[in-house]
Homo-oligomer: A and B are copies of this chain.
């Protein structure tokens, strides 16, 4: 009851925003605040239910490995989608206002005197949400039944079909009329690859309290600031519109991320699960594609790109790859330490890779008395930071990732 009351209170500024401003940006900010608050309040409530139904994990980096609700990205995702569903009509308010004052003019919407509803823009929203929903859904299914690694890496390909379809009919058809077949095809392949990369990239820097959320917070904020900057400086209407869509998608995303992060921060009282990382990763891909700044997205995800490249020797089997490569807790010091991988059975090609990384000062290798390589740190960004800056508390390790992302 308490929650319902507070949510009701929050809806007052929402209503005010819609009624007084008719300004989609203001409404978006209000929606983001409500989404933050709803996520923050719902997670503990639903968490209990999830634990009761066996949807929990154990926190491996704590002394007593406490039981913690899993898949809480579901709450973040559901609140986000509910917020977006309610937000959909808002950017179209000027169109309806215009209908009633036919002397008003709306750039690009009037056609033969009768205003034409911007069905293409609405289609972009719907396709973006459909893609996000698919990914949230697949993430949750993965959490519940553990889809095999080889299958799930391709899931974003399936989820991004509606998005690419709408992209094709909105930009290609309208702007180029006859698309260049080969270049066109390569560009779609590139966008599909971005979706696959973005969804999986967040997932491989994970395993510490708050580490997924803090990455997403930094990337999302950077993309939001970039879009806001573009909106207020560009003189092209199409650029402005594309970046507006990006803002409308990112604002509530940051809201739910902060709400989630407050529970997932050290010491965590909830886990996001694959549900959260897939959903968040796909949000960046969707925003990049609809806002037409995919290169910026890749740029802002540089730590993820680095982590992926750095992990390649293990991911592609040149060096042994244990199921979990996250750091471990030293129960004596209470600090987090990097984990290591055994190199004794590694073949020459893998050893050469490690030697190159060592030369670049990117690997901490231990040798026996014969100068034979015995082990090195697991090749993830988290472990590398622990090697470079020494063991630390879990909270500090997460902050380091956040700082790297910001830097």
Q: Which residues on A are within 8 Å of B, measured CB to CB?
A: 46, 49-50, 53-55, 74, 81-82, 85-86, 88-89, 92, 99-100, 111, 114, 117, 119-120, 122-123, 126-127, 129-130, 133-134, 136-137, 140-141, 144-146, 158, 161-162, 165-166, 169-170, 173-174, 177-178
Contact = CB atoms under 8 A, between A and B. Distances in A.
Contacts of A81: 134
- State the copy count for this chain: 2
B55 A145 contact: yes
B99 A178 contact: yes
B99 A162 contact: no
Contact of A123 (B99, B123, B129, B136): B123
Contacts of A162: 85, 88, 126, 129
Contact of A89 (B46, B123, B165): B165
Nearest to A85: B161
A289 to B, nearest CB: 15
Contact of A141 (B74, B161, B178): B74
A282 to B, nearest CB: 14
A111 B116 CA distance: 12
30 contacts: A46-B145, A49-B146, A50-B145, A53-B144, A53-B146, A55-B144, A55-B145, A74-B141, A82-B158, A85-B158, A86-B161, A88-B161, A92-B169, A99-B173, A99-B177, A100-B178, A114-B177, A117-B120, A119-B170, A122-B123, A122-B166, A122-B169, A123-B126, A126-B130, A129-B130, A136-B137, A137-B137, A137-B140, A140-B141, A144-B144
A146 to B, nearest CB: 7
List the 5 closest A-B pairs by CB distance, nearest first.
A119-B119, A126-B126, A85-B161, A119-B120, A123-B123
Contacts of A141: 74, 140
A49 B46 CA distance: 25
Contact of A117 (B122, B136, B140, B169): B169
Contacts of A129: 130, 162
A356 to B, nearest CB: 38
A177 B127 CA distance: 26
A123 B88 CA distance: 13
Nearest to A114: B177
Given A53-B146, A161-B86, A162-B85, A119 B74 contact: no
B119 A169 contact: yes
A127 to B, nearest CB: 6
Contacts of A86: 161
A340 to B, nearest CB: 32
A173 to B, nearest CB: 5
Given A50-B145, A126-B123, A173 B117 contact: yes
A127 B123 CA distance: 8
Contacts of A144: 53, 55, 144
Contacts of A134: 81, 133
Given A85-B158, A126-B130, 17 more contacts: A50-B145, A85-B162, A88-B161, A88-B162, A88-B165, A92-B169, A99-B173, A99-B177, A99-B178, A114-B177, A117-B174, A119-B120, A119-B122, A126-B127, A129-B162, A136-B137, A140-B141
Contact of A145 (B49, B133, B137, B169): B49
Nearest to A96: B173
